[in-house]
Structures are given as C-alpha cells and as structure tokens.
Amino acid sequence: METFISAAGLAERLESGERIVLLDVRWALGAPDGRAAFAQGHLPGAVYVDLESELASHGTPGAGRHPLPDPAEFARAVRRWGVHDGDALVAYDAVGGLSAARAWWLLRHAGFTDVSVLDGGLRAWTEAGRPLEAGAVRPEAGNAAPGWGVMPVIDIDEAAAWPGRGVLLDARAGGRYRGEAEPVDPRRGHIPGALNLPAAECLDDAGRLLPRDVLCGRVAGLGAVGGPTAAYCGSGVTAAFLVAVLDHLGEEASLFPGSWSQWSADATREAATGTEGGAPDPRAHTTD
C-alpha cells in the first residue's frame, strides 16, 4: 500500500490487469459539485464521488460543515462506486489531492487497506500523456462490507486539550490561521495552541507532493514527530490531507472532523489570533 501513488505507478498497476477502483473527488470551497468537470474528462473508468453527500453528512453549526458520514450510508456509497472486498482504490482530484484525501481517510477509517491518493491528481495524469474519457460512469454495484472506526479521531473537547499533550496542526492557509481573513466560518482565528502547517504548502507548483526530506523537515520543525499529533482545518477535508502526508512519512495523526467550522460556531470556545508557529501560506488557497 502506498499513501500516494504516482501517475506512472498507477498506470503500471492498471496495465498489469490489477483491479483498481478509481474515485474522482473533484471538489473545492465555492465549487462543491464537480459532476460537470467529471463529465468533460476523467481517468478512464473512474467513478465520480460527491464529497458533500457521500463523504460527509449534513452539516450543522454544532457539528461543523462536513461531519463524518453515517457508517451505513457510507457503506452504501462504497458499494455504489462498484467496490468489492479486496479491491485496490485510488482517489484523485484536480487540486493535488487536497479533497481526494477525504476519501482516502474515510476508506481507511472503514477498514480498507490498499487505498492511495494520486500524487498530482488529474494534472499529473494528463502531463504524463495518459488519456481521459468523457461522459458518465455507472458501475455495477459492489459487494464490499466496510467496517468503521479504524483511524484515530478526536472531538472538540479533545481538540481543546490537545496542545497540552501533543501537537495540534491547523491545515488552513496562513491568513485564516492568523485571523486576518475568514471567508466562510463564523469567527476568525485558530484553536489556542495550534500550529499552522497549510496543507497546500505540502505541494509544489505543479500540485505534486514535496520531496520527503522537505516534508520531514517541516513536520519535525513543528514537533509533529514521534508523539501525539492531531490535525484540523475548516471542516475536516484538507486536514485529512495532512493526516495522509504524515502517514506517508510514517507518522500517525488523529483527525478533528468538526474542525474550525465547529469550534468557531461555539461562542464559549476561545479563538486565538496571530502566529504561534508554522510558516504562513503565501498563496490564496480556499480549498477548505
């Protein structure tokens, strides 16, 4: 199992005849429905996955914008995608894996072990000279029987106490972390004690994962090595990408699904501003 797989590596596995289910998770804040883009061009045989309805339940202020889906509903979605027990799964998107990692995390949480994110996503695939196909894909239903509860998760109270026991990483852009701007959630700022590691800064200009030694240096610089680490973002989407990056580096991290959208909606929770650690993100990413 590879947390991130290259376009060349995926093509090689597909050409070997291995059964791999490809999941297209095109989503972004402000453009949550990727069906039209999927229909215009996607990896051959890929299935469109709707993040809003299949990778989350209906959000409320008390639970955040993208609470984890109901396990039974997620299992039905997995079977709709044509997944059978034992299948390999690769999720991709058009933003370097920042949204596809939500599918990776949920599938791992449901007990699937051979799950990867396509490094560089759609762009890496096309730049490698690989073909796309257009139109809808309606697979035959699979027979998978997903479980639940495999990946570590923390709730809002645990998030409040986490900086006292380990490292809490905020995956949002630096401006949102510092409280300079907040495009979607009720209040500006971050959870007190959290350190900033923008998920987008784990990617190069081509949307591919930075070299391992660079990522190791950034993670180690924040102390997120060998001890308790947890991650949050706006609503638990790009934080799943940070969890995947840490998994790629051999580190485990818990996910706070409610993230800032849940925290900022609770007036009893303090909102810190300014910089407590981590580098600001010089680019304007509003993925989550």
Catalytic residues: 233
Q: Which residue has the tokens 């610089």?
A: 221
Distance, first Cα to last Cα, the chain: 27
| Alpha carbons within 13 A on the beta-carbon side of 199 | 30
Smallest Cα–Cα separation from 49: which of 11, 4, 5, 105?
A: 105
Pairing of strands 195-196, 229-232: unpaired
Helices (H), the chain: 7-15, 35-40, 51-54, 71-80, 100-109, 121-127, 156-161, 174-178, 212-221, 238-248, 259-263
Q: Percentages helix, strand, coil for the chain, rounded to the nearest 5?
A: 30, 15, 55
